[in-house]
Amino acid sequence: MKNKEWPKHSVLAIAVIATWLTTYVVYKTAFSITIDNALQEFILFLNPLSLLLFAYGGALFFKSKKARNRYILVIAVLTSVVLYGNVAFYRFFTDFITLPVLFQTDNFGDIGNSAAASIFWTDIVYFADIIIILLAMRFVNEKQTAAKSAATHRKAYFVLSAAVLFFNLGLAEAERPQLLTRSFDREMLVKNLGMYNYHLYDVYIQSKSQAQRALADGSELTEVTNYVRSNQAEPSEEMFGAAEGRNLIVVTLESLQTFVLNNEMNGETITPFMNELTQDEDTIYFPNFYHQTGLGKTSDSEFLLETGMYPLSGGAVFFTHSGNTFNSMAEKMGNEGYATNVQHANTKSFWNRDMMYESLEIDKFYDIQSFTVGEGEAVNWGMKDIPFFEQSVGHMSEMQQPFYTRLLSLTNHHPFTLDEEDKMIDEYDSNSGTLNRYFQTVRYLDEAVKTLFEDLKEQGLYENSIIVMYGDHYGISDNHNEAMAQYLDKEITPYESAQLQKVPFFVHIPGYEEGYVNEEIGGQVDMRSTILHLMGMETEKDIQFGGDLFSEEHEEFVIFRDGRFVTDEYVYAANVCYDIETGEPVEDQSLCDPYAERALEELQYSESIINGDLLRFYEEENGQLKTLDEQEQP
């Protein structure tokens, strides 16, 4: 091979083809990209090529073979790193990396266990193109051609590259009209534009986001305010003020999904205490309640709770917009005389909480430094839940009352590992180690919640408090659908996957004595108004997208961050409209169109508030836009 003369730029051609085919193979093996027809498959196959032609084409501007090869190798390494970074990220988040996530370096040290669990030695195959390119550089002997033809070759090459790009864009637009206006659906972007073009588009979107704040003047809020006011629900007369004056304890149940409640695993009860709680006379339990988080996971659920707004389509608000003005639940309760705090046995900088909590006007943050982690009490990213809850109640006993405290649990977190002495049930027996271990950590979390209730009673805090608990996000991603199908004994369709986004929501009011299971369909964006109304606080002048779950006017319409939605009649997932009762596609798919348009509108309204930092132009007390003079004041 070394003696044979190859056409000039053969190494360049081999590099383009090797990375192109490697990318396509990774698409098919590492990501769960839904393909509905032959055209979509062809677009997926084609879409890596356009950017690779442009990127590798830079080698044509180098005169020496050595310089060209170095450039080609650099491009190969960069594209492989981007591709593999998305592979590892997708295994846990079932999503593609966005620019803000790449810069969340403060979190990298804390996600070590999850990252390590997503990397395998066999992943070397994802770098196959680099190996092929190195072999080509070693053994391919290229012909030398006249220098005067180099400019002509370059022109023809880049004309071809542009033609491929526009051909790809034309097919994508035909397959998915208004693709770029639906940028919250990253899978759709990758499927039609390609992994590498998607990242360039993401850079554009993030730059646009930064520019939005600089150019915003508050006028955009008028339309948003009108939308919010027109969709407000009046509080329930019966439940408004039901917990007025009490301490508010909100517990985030890490990675807890509803499917484990009132259920068994190989004959063993998974959540015995919370099962009893669903039937408790002092508890209102919501089984049809969905998480609405994005890439910010737990931090997104906190954002939904505190603000009643949706998280961003890319990245975490806690990191990207921690300096914004917000109208938080903590601020509102603080104005009513409540001492406000968060308790979380992790480093204060994780998800940028120390900065974000200041913007949310939370008085105090009990981070890992506020807890004593004894021998055998550390787990994953911090402290085991049982000792964490025990010490949290200790902190509560010293707080000024009334107080509003939030507790963030940790143990039931990917990769769901436990010490032997903490395992109360056996592992499951599927082909997914993640799902197998999940039942054990959920069982531990249930025991920790039982401990919390017991300790509150022992410390005399229970009777004068309201305890709200919610699951923050999914624990088992779509990557484990085969194992979930085994456990649930049914196929995991897009409809079933949407149903699996249900997380528990408990409202426990000691002494209420009229507890029941509330079948209302709702989501995390509804928590803020629901809780504040229970505490006897009005929200009619607040800009929020959720509604009181107890209100007779509450609309059963839950919007997911990725554009899916659930109503009392339909489930919209994977661009298919399903009947919520049967789980089958409805005959008239257009029935979901009005909801789809409104879902996109509401997500865009929320995103515009965040990106433009529009609440700095809003006067909370009177529910009006600030005057120009007020806006100019520091």
Q: What is the distance between the terminal CA atoms of the chain, rounded to a whole angstrom? A: 71
What the block records as the tokens of 497 is 């996957």
User: For residue 604, how many other CB atoms are within 10 A of its CB?
Assistant: 15
Which DSSP string do the residues of 32-98 spell out, in sequence order? -----SHHHHHHHHHTHHHHHHHHHHGGGG--SHHHHHHHHHHHHHHHHHHHHHHHHHHHHHSS---
Please give the Cα distance from 578 to 568 (Å, whole number): 11
Catalytic residue among 79, 98, 298, 320: 298
Chain-centroid distance of CA 294 in Å reads 2
Asked if 242 and 512 count as a contact pair (C-beta separation under 8 A), the reply is yes
Surface-to-core class of residue 267, CB atoms within 10 Å of its CB (0-12 exposed, 13-18 middle, 19+ buried): exposed
Residue with tokens 């084609």: 46
Residue 269: strand pairing partners? 264
The b/e string for 209-238 (b: 16+ C-beta within 10 A; e otherwise) is beebbeebebebbeebbeebeeebbebbee
Length in residues, the chain: 634
Helices 150-175 and 186-193: crossing angle in degrees, nearest 10, is 140
Question: Is 298 a known active-site residue?
Answer: yes
Please give the Cα distance from 3 to 56 (Å, whole number): 25
Give the DSSP letter of residue 412.
Answer: S
User: For residue 338, how many other CB atoms are within 10 A of its CB?
Assistant: 24
Surface-to-core class of residue 452, CB atoms within 10 Å of its CB (0-12 exposed, 13-18 middle, 19+ buried): buried
* Residues identified as active-site: 298
